C-alpha cells in the first residue's frame, strides 16, 4: 500500500510538472505543420532567460522522476515462510521464484533477456570483451576505437556491435556509456580510479 502511494505521488508530480511546462514552453502546444513549428520556435526565442531556465529545470526534474518510475519494482504480495529443517513451503517458494522470472513491473520485464533468442554475434562480442578485459591497455576505450576493434577482429559492424555491447552492459560484463562515447571493458577499473580520488589515509589524519 505504501509502495502504491509513493507511485501515485510520483505520477501526480510528473503530471503537475508537465502541466507547468505546457504553460511555460510555447513549443509544447499542438502543432499542425511546419508553420506552427516555426511560430512556436520564435515564441520560445523571445522568452526571457529566466523563463528558459524554468523550462530546463522542469524538463530535468521530469526526466529524473521518469527514471525513478522506471527503476521501481513491485514487491511480492505474499512472503513464503520456509524451513531448512523440514523443507516446509520450499515447493511454494520455488514456484514463486519461477513465476517472478516472467513478471512485469512498473519498468517492464524484470528479466527482459529471459527466453529471448540472442544472436550468435552477441555471444561473440561477449567472449571478446571478456578476453580483452584481462589484457593491459583495454580497461577503458573510446567507442570509435572499440567499434573499429570489433570490425577488424570479429568482422562485426557498428550497429550489431552497439546492440551486442548493450546486451553485455545489461549482464554486467561491461560499462557502456553510449552518450559519453566510452566503454569500460573492466568495470572494476572505474572503481580503482575512484579510489585514487576518494581515499582516506589514516597516517595523514593522525599527524
pLDDT tens, 93-110? 888 888 877 777 666 676
> Grid coordinates representing 18?
508537465
- Residues above pLDDT 70, as percent of the chain: 86
For the stretch 155-164, pLDDT in tens is 999 999 999 9
Taking the model in full, what pTM does it have? Answer: 0.52
State the maximum Cα–Cα separation within the chain, in Å, rounded to a whole number.
74
Full DSSP string of 95-123: HHHHHHTT-EETTEESSTTTT----HHHH
Which of 190, 188, 184, 189 lies closest to 129, judged by CA?
184
Amino acid at each position: 500500500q505504501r509502495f502504491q502511494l509513493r507511485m501515485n505521488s510520483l505520477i501526480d508530480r510528473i503530471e503537475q510538472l508537465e502541466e507547468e511546462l505546457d504553460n511555460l514552453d510555447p513549443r509544447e502546444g499542438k502543432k499542425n505543420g511546419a508553420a506552427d513549428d516555426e511560430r512556436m520556435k520564435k515564441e520560445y526565442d523571445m522568452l526571457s532567460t529566466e523563463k528558459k531556465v524554468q523550462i530546463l529545470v522542469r524538463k530535468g526534474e521530469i526526466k529524473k522522476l521518469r527514471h525513478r518510475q522506471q527503476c521501481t519494482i513491485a514487491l511480492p504480495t505474499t512472503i513464503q515462510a520456509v524451513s531448512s529443517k523440514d523443507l516446509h513451503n520450499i515447493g511454494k517458494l520455488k514456484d514463486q521464484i519461477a513465476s517472478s522470472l516472467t513478471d512485469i513491473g512498473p519498468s517492464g520485464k524484470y528479466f527482459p533477456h529471459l527466453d529471448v533468442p540472442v544472436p550468435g554475434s552477441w555471444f561473440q562480442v561477449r567472449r571478446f570483451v571478456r578476453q580483452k578485459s584481462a589484457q593491459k591497455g583495454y580497461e577503458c576505450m573510446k567507442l570509435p576505437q572499440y567499434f573499429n576493434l570489433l570490425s577488424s577482429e570479429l568482422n562485426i559492424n557498428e550497429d550489431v556491435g552497439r546492440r551486442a555491447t548493450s546486451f553485455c552492459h545489461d549482464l554486467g560484463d561491461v560499462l557502456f556509456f553510449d552518450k559519453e562515447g566510452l566503454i569500460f571493458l573492466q568495470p572494476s577499473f572505474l572503481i580503482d580510479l575512484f579510489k585514487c580520488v576518494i581515499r582516506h589515509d589514516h597516517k595523514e589524519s593522525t599527524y
